[in-house]
Structure 1
Amino acid sequence: MAKTNHSDQIIFSMFAVLIATTVNAGTVTSDIYTTNGTSAGKVVFEDSQYGLLIKPQLTGLPAGIHGFHIHQHPDCGDHAMNAGGHLDPANTNSHQGPYGQGHLGDLPVLMVDSKGTAITPLLAPRLKTKDIQGHSIMVHEGGDNYSDNPPLGGGGTRIACGKISL
């Protein structure tokens, strides 16, 4: 019967923890609530070689195209107004969409089907999970033209919000 070296066990345990941490390091999940406090589902964020993969699993939203953004603060209180404005760490003060050089929080629009469900994955090429932690995800009523005319792309009222944290 072979003897087990205590240091080998410690190294193996540390290796197992490292693997488990690495597997989960690039994924963040945010629970989403309407501004009335009703659960709307969740959004899963995953790092990919092309940027941040955003996988909505949302229900109970108005059908159509909606503005979708990362906002400054992880606070959805006061009908989501406590979330602040769009994430803009470079202070560009410019709404240019997910492929432009404006707000870092500008995401592709969220598509909600006629049953109120949003499950179409999106890609935000300028973001990684480390960029969005400690912020919030926001659904705005109406579309988004990715410009500042009308202001903030013409997106409307905040209708759903989720805190983004580990």
Structure 2
Amino acid sequence: MHSARIASVAAAALLAGTAAKAADPVATATMMNQDQAEIGTVEIFETADGLLLRADLSELETGWHGFHIHQTGACESDFTSAGGHYAPDDSGHGFYTENGGHAGDLPNIYVGENGNAMADFHTTRVTLDGDTAPLMDDDGSAIMVHADPDTYESEAGAGDRVACGVVEPVGG
């Protein structure tokens, strides 16, 4: 009887812990397609050792897509205003390369048959506004979805830019 009561208390504590409110995002990017229609968000959370990016996207083509941080916080017309991949230390691209890529490299996302994608990515290569690879530097940063998957080699090969969102602080 005593062990059953302990198990019940432990289960209640576990359920209470899972029901606890998650941390609030410190920044967000409202993702737009090239028609400037909103197709989702990327929320950015600070963690003890980096940033967590949570993507919730819709209305994309089924399949794998490159997903990157770009160097400039601008998403005009064809999204070239966002510049290249975010590489403040001028490091090369690609997880499979000798140096393992640059700050803007993130894993590909997969979009299901319904056109939706959800993903969490953790990175220690960027900060929100710190000294090392800050997303909120003078010209900001953008989150980009590409038409094709990233090769993870020195040339991304991810194709056209199909969705873009400017990283903006929450409440700022």
TM (normalized to structure 2)?
Answer: 0.73
1:113 Cα shift?
Answer: 1.3
Distance 1:127 1:98 in 2: 19
Q: In the alignment, which residue of structure 1 is the partner of 2:31?
A: 32
Residue 140 of structure 1: which of 143, 146, 150 is its match?
A: 146
2:171 is aligned with 1:165: no
Q: 1:98 to 1:113 in 2, by over 3 A?
A: farther
Aligned partner of 1:95: which letter?
H
Q: In the alignment, which residue of structure 2 is the partner of 1:106?
A: 105
Distance 1:105 1:138 in 2: 10
1:78 Cα shift?
Answer: 2.6
Distance 2:53 2:104 in 1: 13
Q: In the alignment, which residue of structure 2 is the partner of 1:89?
A: 88
Q: 1:49 to 1:143 in 2, by over 3 A?
A: same
Distance 2:143 2:60 in 1: 15
Aligned partner of 2:63: which letter?
G
Which sections of structure 1, spanning at least 5 residues, go unmatched? 1-22
1:47 Cα shift?
Answer: 1.6
TM (normalized to structure 1)?
Answer: 0.76
Contact map agreement 1:30 1:43 (CA 8 A) in 2? yes
Contact map agreement 2:96 2:153 (CA 8 A) in 1? no
Aligned partner of 1:142: which letter?
D
Cα RMSD after superposing both structures:
2.1
Q: In the alignment, which residue of structure 2 is the partner of 1:64?
A: 63
Question: Sequence identity, in percent?
Answer: 33
